[in-house]
């Protein structure tokens, strides 16, 4: 029984190490690790849920007002996510990523507006 458990643990550990290997993807001007990027939809969902309140990003209905008034922008949202360790620092320099988020905010994606 102990041998079987030990084999299972070794197998599981090898799976974790394989899936934890970062995959580089070219995103805009900066190479960012693919497994650390949050989609604009997911980023906005996290903001709506209040995950960035400590960084001054309001949640729920207040988020909609902040987006409309320009108090919350793609840059401020990404900055908050970087400070909360949800995105790599490189995301702040990725113009394509920032543009995607900006377009998502302006289009009212995920019920943002």
Q: 74-83 and 40-48 are packed helices; what angle lies between their axes, rounded to 10 degrees?
A: 70
Break the chain into its structural domains and give their ranges: 24-111
For residue 46, what pLDDT is reported?
Answer: 94
Amino acid 81: pLDDT: 95
pLDDT for 35 equals 45
- Which residue from 81, 76, 74, 85 is spatially nearest to 28, judged by alpha carbons? 74
Angle of helix 74-83 relative to helix 95-107, nearest 10 degrees, comes to 120
Q: What backbone torsions phi and psi does residue 31 show, to the nearest 5 degrees?
A: -80, 120
CB 88 within 8 A of CB 82: yes
Q: Supply the pLDDT for residue 27.
A: 47
For the chain (113 residues), the mean pLDDT of every run of 10, in chain order, is 48 40 42 65 93 94 90 95 94 94 81 50
Distances (CA, A) of 19 to 29, 51, 54: 26, 25, 31
Predicted confidence at residue 37, as pLDDT, reads 81
């Amino acid at each position: 029984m102990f041998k079987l458990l030990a084999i299972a643990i070794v197998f599981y550990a090898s799976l974790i190490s394989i899936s934890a290997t970062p995959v580089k993807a070219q995103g805009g001007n900066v190479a960012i690790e693919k497994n650390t990027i949050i989609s604009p939809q997911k980023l906005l969902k996290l903001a709506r849920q209040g995950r960035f309140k400590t960084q001054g990003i309001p949640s729920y209905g207040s988020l909609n007002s902040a987006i409309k008034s320009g108090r919350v922008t793609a840059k401020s949202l990404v900055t908050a996510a970087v400070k909360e360790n949800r995105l790599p620092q490189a995301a702040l320099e990725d113009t394509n990523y920032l543009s995607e988020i900006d377009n998502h905010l302006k289009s009212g994606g995920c019920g943002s507006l």
